[in-house]
Structure 1
Amino acid sequence: MILRFSLPFRTTWGQRLLICGSEPSLGAWNLDQAVPLDYNLDTGIWSREITLPDDQPGALEYKYLLLNEQANSTEWEWGPNRTVAYDGHQFQRLVLEDYWRAPAEPENELFTAAFTEALFRRPAKPGKAAPTARVADSVVRFQLLAARVEPGQQLCVLGSDAALGAWDGRKAVVLSNATYPTWTAEVALEQPDRALVYKYGVWDPQERKIVLLETGADRVLPPATDRKTLRVRSDDKFRYPNNWRGAGVALPVFALRSHRGLGVGEFPDLKLLVDWAVSTGLKMVQILPINDTVATHTWVDSYPYAAISVFALHPQYLNLEAIAPLQDKAAQQELDALRDQLNGLDFVDYEPMMNAKWKFIKQLYKQEKKAFLADPEFQKYREEQKAWLAPYAAFSALRDRFGTADFQQWPEEYRTPKLVDQLTQETATDFDEFGVHFFTQFHLDKQLREAVTYARQHGVVLKGDLPIGIYRHSVDAWTQPELYHMHQQAGAPPDDFSTTGQNWRFPTYNWERMAEDGYAWWKQRMGQLARYFDALRIDHILGFFRIWEIPGHSVEGLLGHFSPALPLHQHEIEQRLGWFDYRRLCEPYIRWHMVERIFHGQAQAVFDEFMEADHHGAIRMKEHVRTQRQVEAVLDAQCAAEPSLVDHCKWLKTGLYQLINEVLFVPDDLRPDHYHPRITLNKSTSFAELDETSRRRLYDDIYIDFFYKRHEGFWREQGLVKLPPVRYATNMLICGEDLGMVPDSVPGVMKALGILGLNIQRMPSNPRTEFGHPNDAPYLSVVSPGSHDMSTLRGWWEEDREITQRFFETMLGHHGEQAPYYCEPWVVREILVQHLHSPAMWAIFPLQDLLALHAELRRNNPQDEQINVPANPQHFWKYRLHLPLETLNDNAGFIEDVKKLITSSGR
Structure 2
Amino acid sequence: MNEERRVLLHFVTKYLTKWGQNVVVSGAGVLFGNYDPKRAHWAACHHAGKDLVWEVIVPIPLVPEITYRYAIVDDSMSVITYASNTHTLLLPQSLEDGSIIDIYDEWMDRSHPGYLLSTCAFTKVILPDRPRVTNQILLHLQPTLNEAIIRFQVWDWEVQGGQEMCVSGGAPQLGNWQIQQVLQMTQVAEACWEAEVSVPLNAFPVTYKYAVGDKTGESLLLEHGESRIVALPMSETSRAPAVLVRHDGHFRRERRWRGAGVAVPVFSIRTKSSLGCGEFADLALVAKWCASVGLKMLQLLPVADTSVRGDWRDSYPYSSLCVFALHPMYLNVSQLGGGNLPPLPDSIINEIESARSTLSSLPDMDYEATIKTKLRIARAVFDSLGQETMQSDAYLKFWEENSEWLRPYSVFCFLRDLFGTAEHWNWGVFATPTPEMLLRLSSEDQEWHASIQFHSYLQFHLHNQLSAASSAAASYQVALKGDLPIGVDKRSVDTWLYPKLFHMDTSTGAPPDAFAPGGQNWGFPTYNWEEMESDNYSWWKRRLQHMSQYFQAYRIDHVLGFFRIWELPATARTGLLGRFRPSVPIWRHELESRGIWDFDRLCEPYVTNALLERTFGEGELAAEVAARYFVDGPGRRLKFKKQFSTEAALWTLQPRPGLPEELADEVHATRKGLLALRQNVLLLRDPEDPERFYPRFALSTTSSFRDLDLQWRDELSRLHDDYYHGNRSESLWREQALRTLPVLQDASDMLVCGEDLGMIPSCVHPIMEELGIVGLRIQRMPSECDVEFGNPSDYPYMTVASPSSHDTSTLRAWYQEDKERGERFFMKNLGGEGAATAPETCTPEIAAAVIEQHLESSSVLAIFPLQDLMATSAVLSSSRPAEEETINDPTNSEHYWRYRMHVNVEDLIEDYELKMKLKSMLLASGRAAKEDFGGSG
| TM-score, reference length from structure 1 | 0.89
SS of alignment partner, residue 462 of structure 1? strand
Aligned to 1:100: 106
Aligned to 2:71: 65
CA distance in 2 between partners of 1:52 and 1:298 (Å): 73
Offset at residue 86 of structure 1 (A): 8.8
SS of alignment partner, residue 802 of structure 1? helix
The question of 1:832 aligning with 2:851 is answered: yes
CA 1:75 to 1:660, structure 2 compared with 1: closer, same or farther past 3 Å? closer
| TM-score, reference length from structure 2 | 0.86
CA contact (8 A) 2:507 2:526 kept: yes
Q: Which moved more, 1:690-699 or 1:393-402?
A: 690-699
Offset at residue 498 of structure 1 (A): 1.6
Aligned to 2:12: 8
CA 1:176 to 1:458, structure 2 compared with 1: closer, same or farther past 3 Å? farther
CA distance in 2 between partners of 1:24 and 1:133 (Å): 28
Q: Which moved more, 1:617-626 or 1:436-445?
A: 617-626
CA 1:841 to 1:610, structure 2 compared with 1: closer, same or farther past 3 Å? farther
Aligned to 2:931: none
SS of alignment partner, residue 672 of structure 1? strand
CA contact (8 A) 1:18 1:36 kept: yes
Aligned to 2:900: 880
Which of the residues 197, 208, 212 maps onto 1:202? 212
The question of 1:864 aligning with 2:884 is answered: yes
CA 1:49 to 1:567, structure 2 compared with 1: closer, same or farther past 3 Å? closer
CA 1:300 to 1:174, structure 2 compared with 1: closer, same or farther past 3 Å? farther
CA distance in 2 between partners of 1:155 and 1:528 (Å): 36
CA distance in 2 between partners of 1:334 and 1:52 (Å): 79
Aligned to 2:124: 117
Structure 1 residue identity aligned to 2:590: E
CA contact (8 A) 2:616 2:622 kept: no
Aligned to 1:243: 256
Q: Which moved more, 1:641-650 or 1:230-239?
A: 641-650
The question of 1:681 aligning with 2:668 is answered: no
Offset at residue 197 of structure 1 (A): 4.5
CA contact (8 A) 1:495 1:501 kept: yes
Which of the residues 753, 766, 773 maps onto 2:791? 773
CA contact (8 A) 1:133 1:188 kept: no
- Superposed, 1:534-549 pairs within 5 Å as 534-549=552-567
Gaps spanning 5+ residues in structure 1: where?
none
Aligned to 1:293: 306
Offset at residue 679 of structure 1 (A): 0.8
Percent identity, aligned pairs only? 35
Deviation string, structure 1 residues 33-85 (Cα, Å, up to 9, x no partner): 4456799999986454656877xxxx87542224454x745355432544568
CA contact (8 A) 1:599 1:606 kept: no
Aligned to 2:648: 629
Offset at residue 140 of structure 1 (A): 6.9
- Superposed, 1:302-321 pairs within 5 Å as 302-321=315-334
The question of 1:889 aligning with 2:889 is answered: no
- Superposed, 1:631-646 pairs within 5 Å as 631-635=650-654, 638-639=656-657
Q: Which moved more, 1:688-697 or 1:361-370?
A: 688-697
Aligned to 2:409: 392
CA distance in 2 between partners of 1:27 and 1:368 (Å): 63
The question of 1:273 aligning with 2:286 is answered: yes
The question of 1:146 aligning with 2:156 is answered: yes
CA distance in 1 between partners of 2:91 and 2:417 (Å): 61
Deviation string, structure 1 residues 512-531 (Cα, Å, up to 9, x no partner): 21121222222222222223
Offset at residue 352 of structure 1 (A): 1.3
Aligned to 2:224: 215
Deviation string, structure 1 residues 166-207 (Cα, Å, up to 9, x no partner): 5443454655657322235x56669798555543222234x6
CA contact (8 A) 2:802 2:864 kept: yes
CA distance in 2 between partners of 1:644 and 1:481 (Å): 45
Structure 2 residue identity aligned to 1:122: D
CA contact (8 A) 2:484 2:557 kept: yes
Offset at residue 283 of structure 1 (A): 2.1
CA contact (8 A) 1:120 1:151 kept: no
The question of 1:568 aligning with 2:572 is answered: no
Structure 2 residue identity aligned to 1:885: V
CA distance in 1 between partners of 2:645 and 2:122 (Å): 55
CA contact (8 A) 1:286 1:463 kept: yes
The question of 1:787 aligning with 2:805 is answered: yes
Deviation string, structure 1 residues 677-732 (Cα, Å, up to 9, x no partner): 21122333333455566544433x23212212222233223223333323333332
SS of alignment partner, residue 555 of structure 2? strand
CA distance in 1 between partners of 2:461 and 2:186 (Å): 38
CA contact (8 A) 1:201 1:210 kept: no
Structure 2 residue identity aligned to 1:105: H
Aligned to 2:366: 349
Offset at residue 596 of structure 1 (A): 5.5
CA contact (8 A) 1:38 1:48 kept: no
- Superposed, 1:24-43 pairs within 5 Å as 25-34=31-40
CA distance in 2 between partners of 1:94 and 1:343 (Å): 75
CA distance in 2 between partners of 1:583 and 1:434 (Å): 54
Which of the residues 372, 381, 384 maps onto 1:364? 381
CA distance in 1 between partners of 2:14 and 2:369 (Å): 67
The question of 1:378 aligning with 2:411 is answered: no
- Superposed, 1:193-592 pairs within 5 Å as 194-195=203-204, 197-205=207-215, 208-220=217-229, 234-325=247-338, 326-413=343-430, 415-418=432-435, 419-426=437-444, 428-573=446-591, 575-576=593-594, 580=598, 582-583=600-601, 586-589=604-607, 591-592=609-610
CA distance in 2 between partners of 1:14 and 1:596 (Å): 57
RMSD of Structure 2 on Structure 1 (CA): 3.9
CA 1:29 to 1:364, structure 2 compared with 1: closer, same or farther past 3 Å? farther
Offset at residue 426 of structure 1 (A): 4.5
CA contact (8 A) 1:389 1:438 kept: yes
CA contact (8 A) 2:72 2:80 kept: yes
Q: Which moved more, 1:732-741 or 1:349-358?
A: 732-741
CA distance in 2 between partners of 1:15 and 1:614 (Å): 58
CA 1:792 to 1:600, structure 2 compared with 1: closer, same or farther past 3 Å? farther
CA 1:189 to 1:578, structure 2 compared with 1: closer, same or farther past 3 Å? closer
Aligned to 2:179: 169
Offset at residue 91 of structure 1 (A): 14
CA 1:370 to 1:82, structure 2 compared with 1: closer, same or farther past 3 Å? farther
CA distance in 1 between partners of 2:456 and 2:66 (Å): 43
CA contact (8 A) 1:610 1:625 kept: no
Structure 2 residue identity aligned to 1:201: A
Q: Which moved more, 1:334-343 or 1:148-157?
A: 148-157
- Superposed, 1:798-877 pairs within 5 Å as 798-815=816-833, 817-858=836-877, 859-877=879-897
Aligned to 2:934: none
CA 1:478 to 1:52, structure 2 compared with 1: closer, same or farther past 3 Å? farther
CA 1:843 to 1:645, structure 2 compared with 1: closer, same or farther past 3 Å? farther
SS of alignment partner, residue 239 of structure 1? coil
CA 1:61 to 1:521, structure 2 compared with 1: closer, same or farther past 3 Å? farther
Structure 2 residue identity aligned to 1:244: W
CA contact (8 A) 2:108 2:249 kept: no
Structure 1 residue identity aligned to 2:853: Q
CA contact (8 A) 1:129 1:176 kept: no
Structure 1 residue identity aligned to 2:349: Q
Aligned to 1:182: 192
CA contact (8 A) 1:203 1:211 kept: yes
